Amino acid sequence: MPHPLKISRITRRKWLSGLGWGLAAASFVLVATPLLDILFTVVRKGMSALSLALFTQVTNGISGGLLNAITGTLVLVSGALIIAAPVGVLAGIYLSEFGRGRFGRTVRFLDDVLAGVPSIVLGYFSYVTLVIGLGWQFSVLAGSLTLAIMVVPYIARFTEISFMQVPGGLREAGYALGLREFTVIMRLALPLALPGILTGVLFAIAIALGETAPLIYTAGWSNFLWNGRLIHEPIGYLTYVIWSFINQPYRSAHALAFAAAFLVILMVLVINVGLNAALRRARPARAGQR
């Protein structure tokens, strides 16, 4: 040992590299721990609040069940999909098949911009135009339309990507057989792109299920079951229960908030696990033959 205090340059670099990997791993742990704690907390407190009454009774003040909120969430999300899916899918088809020009590039860009607009801004926009402007008041249609504007960019993007992965040779074969553009796209390409589109729709459902801010201003809140009216009638939803009831100083309110959070997280988790499996299975297949 020539000099005990002098560490060789190589050793120092190895140590620093090791430290670097350690910090990288530590940051992952720092991020994964809160996620696990979020899931753990919500599942533990949510499970203990679960009961049959939750699914059979409507909310009564700050107690009772969540039937109105569960059905309300399903109604709002379905409404959003009915509006957003056709728009998103058709826009995605356009972007993939004809979107090379300036209009296509612009829309693609604005699609990303729309996805980045804060949901509260969209909610307030709908409040101003639909709830007040058109006089719809807090209603299913106002809520669903707002959610639809939020999720359209994602459906369009997923659709575009899955259409782009359909091989061009298939389209050319169709045209060579004398098929019309409509037939080639809707009958030949669409079936192959369909799994990707459904993935996008699932993704949109997961987003819409968890939204709160845009609905506070458009859907309102109701203790009662939806009576089928599209306007002039507010509707309940699960995420409202979470943010509103947790601020009440009552045990029953907190239990309902955690139960609602559990249901929302459960649905989002199931969808995301499904998405993950679908995307992973889809990738090698698409990269391969087809």
Partner 1 sequence: MKLRPFRIVLILFTSLIPLALLAVLIFLGRYSWPAVTFNGWHFLAGHTWNLGNLYADPVKQRGVLAPIGANYGILVFVAGTLLTSTIALIIAVPISLGVAVFLAEGLRSRLRTPLSFVVELLAAVPSVVYGLWGYAVLTPLVAHTIGPGLRSVLGFIPFFSGAIGSGYGLLAASIVLALMVVPIIAATVRDALAQVPSETKEAAYALGATHFEVVRRAMLPAVRGNIIGACILGLGRALGETMAVLMVSGGALNYFPGNIYSPVTTMASFIVSQLDSAMQDPTGMAVRSLAEIALILFIISVLTNVIARLLTGTSRNASPA
Region 111-170 residues binding partner 1, contact defined as CB under 8 A: 111-114, 116-122, 124-125, 128-129, 133, 149, 152-154, 156-158, 161
**Dihedral class, residue 178 (left if φ above 0, else alpha if ψ from -120 to 50, else beta):** left
Q: How many CA atoms lie within 13 A of 110 on its CB side?
A: 9
Residues in contact with partner 1, counted by CB under 8 A, come to a total of 92
136, 138, 163, 217: residue in contact with partner 1 (rule CB under 8 A): 217
Phi, psi (rounded to 5 degrees) for 64: 90, -150
| 56 versus 109: smaller Cβ distance to partner 1 | 109
In contact, 140 and 79? CB cutoff 8 Å: yes
Query: Which range, of 15-23, 63-71, 136-144, 165-173, touches partner 1 by CB under 8 A?
Result: 15-23
| 65 versus 99: smaller Cβ distance to partner 1 | 99
In contact, 83 and 144? CB cutoff 8 Å: yes
Shortest reach from residue 33's CB to partner 1, in Å: 10
Contacts to partner 1 from residues 247-266, by CB under 8 A: 257-258, 261, 264-265
7, 8, 13, 232: residue in contact with partner 1 (rule CB under 8 A): 13
Contacts to partner 1 from residues 173-202, by CB under 8 A: 181-182, 185, 199-200
Contacts to partner 1 from residues 52-71, by CB under 8 A: none
